[in-house]
Structure 1
Amino acid sequence: MRADAKENYHHLLVAARDVITQQGAGASLRDIARRAEVSHVTLLRHFPTREALLDALLRKSLEELTAKAGSLELSSSPGEALLIWLRDAVGFVQVYSGVVTIMAAALADPQSALHTSCDELRKAGERLLKRAQAQGVARSDMEGSDLFALIGALGWMNDQAPFKPRAEYLFEVVSNAIMVRQ
């Protein structure tokens, strides 16, 4: 890739992060191009679809969350590791309004640009959940897809003004429902 193309690519991702953080995952691609001070055609050359742009924007964060799950697997407390990761995952989906719907659709569609990143995240959470279940500190009837759905639900609440003030309380309710108190 030429130097100017690399610069445009990076500039587009920075602009996309800013615009999507403010406007949500449905933000106008034209607004993103304007913020990056490039043409709409330049944006489409780098990211032919909204999903391709979101994949490039979100992939690094999804990979970091997946890697964090791997390091937490080495933790001496499986329950604590699961809750730390769950809180971080919920925090991530709360950054970009509307991303939960896109991630859920991507998980169900193996052809999606975001599918692999979302599936790896789901599997990482599932490993933490299974480790906590093996220690008897998490509900035995949950699956990794349940955990992924709860992350989505908790993230979605942040997008809803009436629920936002209770988001922390509801996170505690959900996390208490996942964990087995001894």
Structure 2
Amino acid sequence: MPDHAATRPRRTRADAIRNRNRLLEAAAAVFGRGGTGAGLDAVAREAGVGIGTLYRHFPTREALYEAVYRREVDQLVELAGQLATEGAPMQALRRWFTALMGMVATKKGMGAALALAAHRPPELAAYSASRLQEAIGMLLRRAVEAGEVRTDLGPEDLLMAVVGLCYVLDGPGWQAQALRLLDVFLDGLRRREGLAAPSHAAGDGS
């Protein structure tokens, strides 16, 4: 006869992990779409759970914001690791920057929906900047070594340019416009004959 008492806590923990992951995925989707309906109730509905379940996992808006943001950053780092060994270097850069724009859309949506525009803990900002620059560095070095991109820009420059582009644009359809401008930006990264070598190597962060 099975020991139900022994298996119940393990099943409960598994359910809690699943619910938390569903909430994080739902939050990224809801806030990424933006709009007036992008609130906590919409996140719970998207995840298929009650609002009480959401608050058990994320007791404050700030807690949800930080969890979603860290998850998005970690996923971008993981994606960079995959793309560093797949396909053409410029295609890998475009795919990664497109995913980065999706993360920025989620962040902008959270700020608008949760009134958290000023919520940016220093440790979270430092964590995200370091991780994202590391991810860009992997892809940038590969493109430089292949002779496809100019060598006078580093990961910090690229991150600042693309994120800044996303925040300059706003309103309906901003992401489509951002993708068009991303292609212009990436074309500008391509190596041109006669471009002088920089004083630092791409990706060294100096």
- Give the TM-score range, shorter chain: 0.5 to 0.7
How far off its partner does 1:34 sit? 7.9
TM-score using structure 2 length? 0.60
Q: Is the 8 A contact 1:90 1:154 kept in 2?
A: no
**Bigger radius of gyration:** 2
Partner of 1:179: 190
| Paired letter, 1:171 | L
2:77 equivalent to 1:66: yes
2:93 equivalent to 1:82: yes
CA distance in 2, matches of 1:49, 1:143: 37
CA distance in 2, matches of 1:22, 1:14: 13
CA change 1:76–1:91 in 2 (3 A) is same
Partner of 1:116: 127
Identity over the aligned pairs, expressed in percent? 31
User: SS of the residue aligned with 2:51?
Assistant: coil
| Paired letter, 2:92 | A
Q: Matches of residues 158-169 of structure 1 in structure 2 within 5 Å?
A: 159-161=170-172, 166-169=177-180
Partner of 1:127: 138
Q: Which runs of 5+ in 1 are unaligned?
A: none
User: SS of the residue aligned with 1:177?
Assistant: helix
TM-score using structure 1 length? 0.66
Q: Is the 8 A contact 2:162 2:182 kept in 1?
A: no
Measured against aligned partners, the alpha-carbon deviations of 1:100-129 in whole angstroms (never above 9, x if no partner) come to: 988xx85x82x22x6435532221112211
| Paired letter, 1:88 | A
1:37 is aligned, of 50, 63, 67, to: 50
CA distance in 1, matches of 2:160, 2:60: 25
CA change 1:10–1:76 in 2 (3 A) is closer
